Amino acid sequence: MMLGEEITRILKDQRALEARYEELLLEQDKLKALPNKTKFKESQVAIMDITNELQQSTQVLARNLKTHPSVAQNLLKIQQERSALQALIGKTIRELREYRFDSLVNTVEDERKKKDTLQNTINRENEASALLKDLQKQLTLEKKLLEDETSDRNQAIQQLKDTIQEINALTHSEQKYMRKETKAHENSVRERCLAKETTLVEERGMLVLRLEQEQRAHDKIVDFLVRQREALEGQIQQWMVRYEEDTEAKAAELEALKQRRSQDLDKFEELVAAYEELEKIVEEDRQMKQREAEEMRIVKEREGAAMRLQRWWRGMLAKSLKRIVKSAAKSKKAPKGKEGKGGKEGKAKTPASQGKTPPKTAPKTAKGKSAK
């Protein structure tokens, strides 16, 4: 028989002994109220026996836990674990290629359950040791109480013997009255015990019902959690697939954007070159328009100057003509006595000066002004 099976058997025996011990404790409370103490003493003896058995079982369990398996069993166990680990690694690698690792998760969960079971066993051992200590203390206390109760009972027996002697000395009617009173008291105690027993039975039924309800609730919670875990694992797989698809799609979009950006850069460079060419043309056109405007301004200034010169020249001609007319009129009004030689010379000079002076001065002035 392997060590694990032996430990399991010992723990089952301890649970049975603990349950029996609790039952005896409950019965002891009931037996204390009964006038017949024989069953109470038997219950005390049974409790002591169960306590000894629990102590022995705990010692056996401790020895089994301290004892190691043989070397051959250890080597065989190591070989089995290594083979199982190699198989698990191979299976996990195959599953990882399929983007899942269910076998690894299940194996880890099984190992965790085994570890929890072993920890529960250790905890139960500690609890059993503590329970054993408590039971030993209770046993010592019960022994002391039993001794005190025995002493009290001996005193009570002695008192009862004295009372019996006194009762025997009393009359028959008093004895009959005492028997009736004792019977009535016994009936009253019996009724109280029955009522208490009924209450305890009802409480036990309620506790059993609550335990069943808790077990059902526990089973439902476990089922819900299992289904929830399966659903979450399915969602994880879906999200992994979706992540890969989205990654590939975004990579394709990024590549398309890079290509389009390269095309846009080429087009942008072409547009920049065209813009610079157009700007150069616009600048040349603007400069040409400025030159044309400057030429037009110069032409207009020249035309204005020519027009002013022509007006000035016409004014000068008009003034010259007026002077000539006035001088002619004055010459006609001069006295006849003076028309001799001097008058002839004046007449001769006047036409000459009139005929020569205007043509000579007018062209020169016109040429000078036009040149300007």
User: Mean pLDDT, consecutive 10-residue segments, the chain of 372 residues?
Assistant: 62 76 73 72 76 74 60 56 70 71 78 84 81 81 82 84 76 73 87 90 91 92 91 91 90 90 88 89 90 90 90 88 83 55 43 40 39 36
What's the pLDDT score for residue 41? Answer: 75
CA 9 to chain centre: 48
Q: How many structural domains comprise the chain?
A: 2
The span from the CA of 300 to the CA of 303, in Å, is 5
Tens of pLDDT along 275-294? 888 989 989 888 999 999 99
Q: Say if residues 237 and 99 touch (Cβ distance below 8 Å).
A: yes
Give, in order, the Cα–Cα distances in Å from 253 to each of 82, 260, 261.
48, 10, 12
Q: Say if residues 50 and 24 touch (Cβ distance below 8 Å).
A: yes
Domain boundary among 207, 229, 264: 264
The span from the CA of 192 to the CA of 177, in Å, is 23
What's the pLDDT score for residue 338? Answer: 46
Same domain, 211 and 150: no
Structure tokens at 121: 């066993």
**Sheet strands (E) in 284-366:** none
What's the pLDDT score for residue 333? Answer: 66
Please tell me what DSSP assigns to residue 33: T
Same domain, 147 and 45: yes
Within-domain flag for 272: no
- Containing domain of residue 239, as a range? 179-264
Domain boundary among 125, 157, 172: 172
What's the pLDDT score for residue 209? Answer: 92
The tokens 């004014």 sit on which residue?
315
Give this prediction's pTM: 0.23
Domain boundary among 233, 264, 295: 264
Same domain, 252 and 115: no
Same domain, 210 and 233: yes
Same domain, 154 and 225: no
Structure tokens at 54: 């629990």
CA 262 to chain centre: 39
Tens of pLDDT along 166-175? 777 766 776 6
